[in-house]
Structure 1
Amino acid sequence: MTALGSVWATGQTSPRGQLRQGPYISATVHDADRVPPAVARLAIDHLTAAGDTVLDPGCGAGTVIVEALRAGRNAIGITDDRRWWSVARANITATRRRTDAHTDALLLDGTPRRAAGQLTGMTGTVDLLLAGLRPTPALAPADALRRTLAHCLPLLRPGAHAAVVLRTTHDGPNFTDPIDDAARAGQDAGLLLVDHCIALAGQLRGDRLIPPPARQFRSPSTGSLGAEFHDVLIFRVPDRPLASAATRRLPRVRSTKPPSRTATTLREIACAA
Structure 2
Amino acid sequence: MLPAVAAQAITHYTQPGDLVLDPMCGIGTTLIEALHQGRRAIGVEYEPHWVDVTQANLDLARRAGVDPDARAIHGDARQLATLLPPDLAGQVALVVTSPPYGPSTHGQVTVTPGGGVHKYHHLYGNTLDRGNLANIGHHRLLTGFTKILTHTAAFLRPGGHVVITLRPWREHAELIDLPAQITACGRAADLTPTERCVALLARIAQDDLVARGSFFQRDFIGKQRRAGLPLHLIAHEDLLVFQRTETPVRSFHPRGPSQHPTATARPLFSVDTQASELAGAAATGPQLGRAA
TM-score by length of 1: 0.70
Partner of 2:238: 231
Partner of 1:3: none
Work out the CA distance in 2 between the residues paired with 1:226 and 1:148.
30
Q: Percent identity?
A: 29
Report if the CA contact (8 A) 1:186-1:193 is conserved: yes
Kindly provide the CA deviation profile for residues 179-198 of structure 1, in whole angstroms up to 9, marking residues without a partner as x: 11100100110000000001
Pairwise CA distance, 1:88: 1.2
Instruction: Structure 1: give runs of 5+ residues left out of the alignment.
Output: 1-34, 257-273
User: Is 1:97 aligned to 2:63, yes or no?
Assistant: yes
**Structure 1 residue 140 displacement after superposition:** 2.9
Summarize deviations over 1:149-194 as a string: whole Å, max 9, x none: 1112111000000011113335783323201110010011000000
- Look up the match of 1:54: 20
Check 1:226–1:60 CA distance in 2 against 1; reply closer, same or farther (3 A cut).
farther
Aligned to 1:204: 204
Flag the structure with more relative contact order, 1 or 2, with Cα contacts below 8 A and sequence separation at least 6: 1
Do structure 1's residue 111 and structure 2's residue 76 form an aligned pair?
Answer: yes
Matched, 1:80 2:46: yes
Per-residue deviation, 1:128: 0.5
- Measured in 2, the distance between the counterparts of 1:152 and 1:246 equals 19
* Partners of 1:70 and 1:101 within 8 A in 2: yes
Question: CA 1:187–1:87 in 2, change beyond 3 Å: closer, same or farther?
Answer: same
Structure 2: stretches of 5+ with no match in the other structure: 103-132, 225-231, 266-292
Q: Give the C-alpha shift of residue 63 in structure 1.
A: 1.1
Give per-residue Cα distances to partners, 1:47-68, cap 9 Å, x unaligned: 1122111100011111111111
Report if the CA contact (8 A) 1:133-1:167 is conserved: no
Q: 1:207 to 1:160 in 2, by over 3 A?
A: farther
Structure 1 residues 251 and 142: CA distance shift in structure 2, 3 A: farther
TM-score by length of 2: 0.65
Return the offset for 1:91: 1.4
Q: Distance in 2 between matches of 1:163 and 1:141?
A: 18
Contact 2:162 2:243 in 1 (8 A): yes
Structure 1 residue 190 and structure 2 residue 156: aligned?
A: no
C-alpha contact 2:96 2:164 (8 A) present in aligned 1: yes
Farther-moved stretch of structure 1 (119-128 vs 133-142): 133-142
Q: 1:255 to 1:231 in 2, by over 3 A?
A: closer
> Are the counterparts in 2 of residues 146 and 186 from structure 1 also a CA contact under 8 Å?
yes
- 1:251 paired with 2:216, answer no
The number of residues matched between the two structures is 216
Return closer, same or farther for 1:212/1:60 CA change in 2, 3 Å cut-off: same
> Could you tell me how far 1:208 is from its partner in structure 2?
3.4
Change (3 A) 1:218 1:89: farther
Q: How does 1:5-154 map to 2 (within 5 A)?
A: 35-98=1-64, 100-102=65-67, 104-117=69-82, 118-134=84-100, 135=102, 136=133, 137-138=135-136, 140-154=140-154
Q: Compared with structure 1, are the counterparts of its residues 93 and 226 closer, same or farther at alpha carbon in structure 2 (3 Å cutoff)?
A: farther
Larger radius of gyration: 2
| One-letter amino acid of the structure 1 residue matched with residue 5 of structure 2 | V
Q: Could you say what the CA RMSD is over the residues aligned between the two structures, in angstroms?
A: 3.0
Query: 1:133, 1:166 within 8 Å by CA — same for their partners in 2?
Result: yes
How far did 1:131 drift? 0.6
Shift in Å, 1:241 = 4.0
In 2: Cα distance, 1:84 partner to 1:172 partner:
28
Letter in 2 for 1:64: T
